Structures are given as structure tokens and as C-alpha cells.
Structure 1
């Protein structure tokens, strides 16, 4: 369980971040190595796994598939740019490198190259920053407009929640495990962890590649952040040709309806709005998708709520055979 302790000042200093390249780099490394991960990331993983630079091993050495990943790989910068993040890595103090690597080791032996990194040798720190840069260029840059665009949509949604319902409405909607009882926000977390804001405020970081539970820095001395997963449309990484194949298989309108429902469960009226079609067209196409086993529908008050099935997800992710 993660417990975040607020003061009155922290309530007014909570803000919602735009896309953070360094966090997306780190979290995408988990998705890259999950062969049985969420279908929504599977097409991306398969498309980049053969293009991943060999220097990415330096990053995976510091980001195990489970447990602690070094905090210095995700510096928080005001400009939110990749260039600023890389410069922050190059400027990481020796004491920070040593502290994080000692925590990562946890009684086990790290790869030999990390010894020079722990010593703060410039060539090792520069080599690491270059590996981060190359990984981003090969695996994230081709999709960055889509990733940052979806995060910006989420940011706007969260800002509206706060404007309409206040801070309590915002934090309760961050994650299914979120529980707010002033002055403590509780959320699901792999271990017991407390974060005392102490008037510094909290930066909420909606993340595209975060999956499952939220995350934050282990060290409470860092700027307080809460990184949490957002929903996004399956098939988001498909190249134009792949999207065209889905349209060829289902028809353009039906493919749009399937992708709209795949974005998140929605009513027929919401499907019509998302696809810019009429209510009758949305209803008809949803019925056809339901008959094909690609969506399920259930009564929700006066409306019908549609949800994409695992078969529909696989089709959009390109793993259908």
C-alpha cells in the first residue's frame, strides 16, 4: 500500500504533468520484455524488439523486470523534454549514482560496467545517457506524437474533473485502488511505502506505458511524483497499413466503432460521438461487432454499455490469426 500524506499547502500545489519522456522510457522497458503483457502494448513490442539498440542492455541492467529501478534514470525536469532529461542524467551527482546502485544491488552482484558508473566516471555516465537517447530514437520516437497526444487528452480530462469536482474527485479517479481520507491518499502498491509531501505539492504524471499499479520514487527526497497508468486505444501503434487492413477486414465504419469501444467501455451515444456517426449507425455497427464476438453489450440504466472482448483486443493489436 502507498500512503501519500498531504498538508493544506499540498492541496493547492498538486499539478498534472504533460508527457514525461524519461518515465515513458523507463516504463516501456518493462513492456518491451513482457512477452505475455497487455495486448494493448503487444503490437508495439513486436514492432520494436528487433530494432532495439544493443546498448539497451545498459538500461535493462538498471531496470530489472521486477522490483526497484534506479531513480536517477527518471529525473524530473521543468521543460519535460528528452534533451533536458538526458542532460540531467549526465549531471547526476556521484552520491546519487552510488546510493541508487547500492539499493539496486541489494546484496547481489551488478554487471561490472556499473562499477565505473558508481564512481561517477564521466565516460560511463555519458555512455548511459547515449544509450537512453538511442533507445528513445529507435523505440519511442516513431510513436511519440501518439503517446504524448493521448497523455495530453488524459491531462485535459483530469483537469476537467478537478474543475468540476475538486481535488477529491480528481484523486479518486486516478486509479481503481485510490482511497482519499484527508490528509492521506491510499493506493495499491507492491510494498508498504509512505510519501510525506511536507508542503512540496505532488506532481501527477499520467503515463502511457505504466501498467497495473502506480509508481513513485523510492527516495522521498526527490520531487514528489505519482506516476499512474492511463487507458488508451488498442492498436495505437499500428502503422497506416495495419489500420487499413483492419478497415479492409471489417469495413471502415465498423473498424472505427471497434477502436472507439476499445478505447474504453462506452454507451451507444458515446460511440456515435467518438466516431462522428449517427446513433442508429453506431447501434447497428455495435450489434454486428457483438454478433462477431468482438464486443459485449449490457444494459446500463437506460443505455447499452459496450466493451471490447479479448478477441477484439487481439484483432486490433494485430495478434489475430
Structure 2
């Protein structure tokens, strides 16, 4: 467990990122490739990612470079996900290139002690090797992460809307209290559930505040920098919809039968899809219906006071109201397991 200790100044300086962190999404997507956890939530992405990597000639780079540097383990090098990369891939790449040689060597040594670093890892201390590496990162991002930028941004907008509601009701402490099952606010400490292999540790903010970065590809594995001297940043999971794809049979995690009886299967799936915010297109995919049907379901749920709809650029974003959240939570609690 990570315990983040807040002071009054830290509460005032805590914020939620306005956009995804491209370099962290690269890391989190590589963790998804290494795990079956939450695979149903990324079913479409899983179907396409291998093909895209093959088409771009990145399969050998994936196996030989990325997976050894980004293990799904207690540690991977901090310099690969710089704090100033939120919403800006170019800025993040420049930070990687500007990393001092000694820091690269230090973090590669930590990786080696933790899980074992590849024999060539120390070469990344050289600027020319890092230039080649960031070229690979850009190619991977374009193939694997960039096609999902719109969905990721929509999710973060929905998350910010939900957290803003907590902020209005209870200040920053109210916002922190609603961050989800992996993050528990016990004033003045935010307790973060880390992967089992990670050691317990404490992070004292000491007036620096905390940047919270919702992550599209993170699945229940919140992460902060291992080095306590780096800017305090916490990446955490959006957890996506809490229902499986529409083809999953009842009894294997589909919406509870009473909720389906009340709303109908498609509308119950539509309601569940809005738990982390969803566009009309995302509702259509989650419920397995056409876009026009998804729009009608969203309108019916909005008229019933279960969802609210806001415009997000050219699209609209549907999120749960307190009544919708209560209904969905009650249905989830009724589901065995």
C-alpha cells in the first residue's frame, strides 16, 4: 500500500489532469498486453493490437525492447513516464531525451535488482540510443494508443465531471473520497492499493500538492513515481464499464436480472456503460445496438433522471446522476460475487 500524506496546502494544490498522459498510456497498454485482467473491457483493442503491431513491423520491438523495460511488476524506470507528459507526447519525449545519464543508469540498476534488466539497458544512458528508443515509442503510440485517443479523452472528461461533483459537495476532500475502490481517503492520508508485490511506503507531499491522472489503459493498478523527490503524480484506473460485452451470458457478470427486468437488457447495458461516462457511440457498442437506438436509450435514461448529458466537442457525453449511480450500485451489490 502507498500512503500519501496531505497538508492543508497540498489539498489546495491537488488537481486532476485535463488530458491523458501519452507516455503513461504506452506503459499501461504494455501492462495490458502482459495480463488477462480486465481483458473483456478492452476486447476490441486486443483484437486489433497484434495486427497493428505486425503491420508496422513492431512485434520484435515489443518483445525485445518494450516488454523488458515495462514489466508488469513492482517497478519500471520513472524516467519513462515523466511528469510533464500529461496531454503532450512531444513534451514527454523531450523529457526522456533530457534525462541525465546518471539517472538513467541508476533507474536501470533498480530495475535489474527488482526483476532483471535486459543486458542492453545501460545503453539508454547514451543520447543517441535514447533518440532511437523514442522513435520506437512514437511508432508504438501511433499504432496502439492513438486510435483510442478520443475514447480516452471522453473517459477523462466524464471522470473530471464526476470528481467535480464531489468537489462541489465536499471540497477537495470530497473529491478524494470518491476516487474508487483502489483509492481510499482517510484524512489526512490517501491510501492507494498497490499490486501485491510492491512494498508498503509513505509519500509526504510537503506542500507540493498532487496531480491525479486518470488512465484509460490502467486496470486497477494505481501507480506513483518510485522516487519520492519527483513531482507527486498518481496515475489511476478509470475502470471502464462495470458490465461485460453484450455477448456475455447472464450469470457470468452481466447486469443483475432485476435490473434487466426493470429496464430491459439493452437499456441496462446502456446504463452500466455510462458508469464512467460514455458517448452515444460507446453506448451503442456496449449494448450491441445501432447508434440511433443508443440515442433513444440515452434519452429515456435521461428523462428518467438516471443519466445526464453534456456536450463534449462535436459529441455528447452521458454520465450517471446520483439516482442512476444508486440504482446501478444496488444492482451490482445484488450480483453474487
Task: Give the TM-score taking structure 1 as reference length.
Answer: 0.74
Deviation per residue, 1:186-233 (Å, 9 max, x gap): 222233011111111100111111112321111011110111111324
**Correspondence 1:22 to 2:33:** no
Q: Aligned to 1:226, what secondary structure does the other structure show?
A: strand
Aligned to 2:142: 137
Question: Do the aligned partners of 1:5 and 1:185 also contact (CA within 8 Å) in 2?
Answer: yes
Q: Partners in 2 of 1:308 and 1:144 — Cα distance?
A: 32
Question: Do the aligned partners of 1:261 and 1:306 also contact (CA within 8 Å) in 2?
Answer: no
Deviation per residue, 1:169-195 (Å, 9 max, x gap): 111111224333333222222330111
Aligned to 1:68: 75
Q: Partners in 2 of 1:280 and 1:153 — Cα distance?
A: 19
Question: Do the aligned partners of 1:71 and 1:100 also contact (CA within 8 Å) in 2?
Answer: yes
Q: Aligned to 1:77, what secondary structure does the other structure show?
A: helix
Deviation per residue, 1:248-304 (Å, 9 max, x gap): xxxxx96465233244399xxxx9997112689999xxxxxxxxxxxxxxxx9x968
Aligned to 2:159: 154
Q: Aligned to 1:176, what secondary structure does the other structure show?
A: coil
Residues 122 and 259 of structure 1: CA distance in aligned 2, closer, same or farther (over 3 Å)? same
Among 266, 272, 275, the residue aligned to 2:298: 275
C-alpha displacement at 1:157, in angstroms? Answer: 1.6
Task: Give the TM-score taking structure 2 as reference length.
Answer: 0.71
Aligned to 2:46: 45
Aligned length: 273
Aligned to 1:195: 203
C-alpha displacement at 1:45, in angstroms? Answer: 1.6
Aligned to 1:168: 173
> How do 1:97-246 residues align onto structure 2 when only pairs under 5 Å count?
97-106=104-113, 109-117=116-124, 120-190=125-195, 191-233=199-241
Q: Partners in 2 of 1:182 and 1:50 — Cα distance?
A: 47
Aligned to 2:314: none
Residues 89 and 258 of structure 1: CA distance in aligned 2, closer, same or farther (over 3 Å)? same
Residues 308 and 14 of structure 1: CA distance in aligned 2, closer, same or farther (over 3 Å)? same
**Correspondence 1:33 to 2:40:** no
Q: Partners in 2 of 1:104 and 1:7 — Cα distance?
A: 32
C-alpha displacement at 1:62, in angstroms? Answer: 0.8
C-alpha displacement at 1:125, in angstroms? Answer: 0.5
Q: Aligned to 2:67, what secondary structure does the other structure show?
A: helix
Residues 108 and 33 of structure 1: CA distance in aligned 2, closer, same or farther (over 3 Å)? closer
Q: What runs of 5+ residues in structure 1 fail to find an aligned partner?
A: 238-252, 284-299, 311-321
Aligned to 1:250: none
Among 59, 63, 66, the residue aligned to 2:66: 59
Question: Do the aligned partners of 1:261 and 1:308 also contact (CA within 8 Å) in 2?
Answer: no
C-alpha displacement at 1:98, in angstroms? Answer: 1.0
**Correspondence 1:8 to 2:16:** no
Question: Do the aligned partners of 2:84 and 2:91 also contact (CA within 8 Å) in 1?
Answer: yes
Q: Partners in 2 of 1:160 and 1:91 — Cα distance?
A: 39
Residues 309 and 60 of structure 1: CA distance in aligned 2, closer, same or farther (over 3 Å)? farther
C-alpha displacement at 1:110, in angstroms? Answer: 2.6
Question: Do the aligned partners of 1:175 and 1:228 also contact (CA within 8 Å) in 2?
Answer: no
C-alpha displacement at 1:44, in angstroms? Answer: 0.9
C-alpha displacement at 1:306, in angstroms? Answer: 4.6
Aligned to 2:255: none
Residues 108 and 278 of structure 1: CA distance in aligned 2, closer, same or farther (over 3 Å)? closer
Q: Aligned to 1:135, what secondary structure does the other structure show?
A: helix
Question: Do the aligned partners of 2:97 and 2:130 also contact (CA within 8 Å) in 1?
Answer: yes
